Structure 1
Amino acid sequence: MTDRNQAKESPEKKAAGIYAASLVKDGDAVGLGTGSTVAYTIKELGRRVREENLNIVGVVTSYQSEMIAIDAGVPLTSLAETPRLNIAIDGADQFDENLFAIKGGGAAHTREKIVSMSADRFVVVSDPAKKAKTLSVFVPIEVMPFGRALVMQSLKDIGGDPTLRAAAKKDGPVITDNGNFVVDCTFGEIKDPKELAAKISQIPGVVEHGIFMNVDEVVIGNADGTVEIIKL
């Protein structure tokens, strides 16, 4: 299977992704996130399964990750079968110095948050460009289609500038793996992620937002193949 999401190799992402795979131990149940950096992790785990007889099971957060994991030979399970995970590994759109992160550029943040909260350890893999002193990228928000108008107005009321995410190769909005819309909302600099997260969560029709407050550590890959580990 051709991996269309990784046409151009990134040494930074590769370094972070492969290092994160080394954190997985024999017998672990692993949450596997979505995105180009985690794709390296999944492929490396597949190599370890084949060459090192690593005994693991993975829980994926999207159809994209599922296809990569199957192709790599990573055994899969579900949260219904394995509700508690030892470790979850995922990427991020941006993270700050307090390890608050924004995720959801791939529209999988609801499942990603469920999987990350099911894990004893949540590791984010990243390249240096995703590190910021203060969060400032747009916040992806999964929204029930029926509640779109209310959510859009409510986000404006709390100071946001919301945009319904349009699909790239089809007419109409992006549809998540859960059958919902995604609203991308800009808030400028987010000085208090916890407060903003609480306000968004209170809006009827919001399924989940992309502010993550449960990151245990971040692995940043460098172009020379080294990594930087950040923990609080």
Structure 2
Amino acid sequence: MLVIGYGAKICWVTMRVKAENRMVTLLVEKCDLLKDAILKQNRNRSCIKRNIENIAEFKSYVDEILFRQEYDILLKDDSFFQFERNMRGDQIVYKYVFMQNPLIKISFDDYCKKYQIDLEYEDIDCIKDIYNEDESEEVCKMLNFPLYIRYDVDDRGYIPNLHSYSHLHIGVSEDIRIPVSKILSPPAFVNLVIKMVYPSNWKHIISASLNDSKIYDFKRLCEKLPDKFWNSCELRDVFLT
């Protein structure tokens, strides 16, 4: 059996991270959602936030991450992704997060109604430019239930059929933990989020004119879980992939 040394494993992880970062950026660009890509190797502030009790605290935390630019991928609506991969002994610990910005911009029609703009007597292109540049809270509405989606791969706390080695959290509750039978790559995680949260963008990318077989390779490229972290009892349970 081939044994990979610690240094070689670090090198392999670094190379894979760079390749996955390129795939993530390309996918988000194709979906017309990309605003900024930083893709940090190290960061000061993690999005692994627990015990968020209300929308004000959620918004404050999002604002802090945006101000510090502690995201990897920033979307046009100021929602963002963060990806962390760290070595603990000979194990790789994965943590991916999607946080939806709770401030959502009102539609152009609602904007015109709000400011009593009659498009029959106004330059519509000029008004659209003003609308596109306006990011004030007056033209944004607060979501009552913004999405927080987190994916973890961690051997600490692993208990079959209770606390899976690979699992997905939806919402801020630590108890909502959905088993995943593979190690999701960042592109696969982004794929899943865009499909669920931005269906119109996803519909556009899978249209006949933009269909790209590489999009459907993301699941195939996800690694199999180590046997010691995925047993026959878990196979009989409900899980993703």
Which structure: larger Rg?
Answer: 2
TM-score range, shorter chain: under 0.3
Structure-2-length-normalised TM-score? 0.26
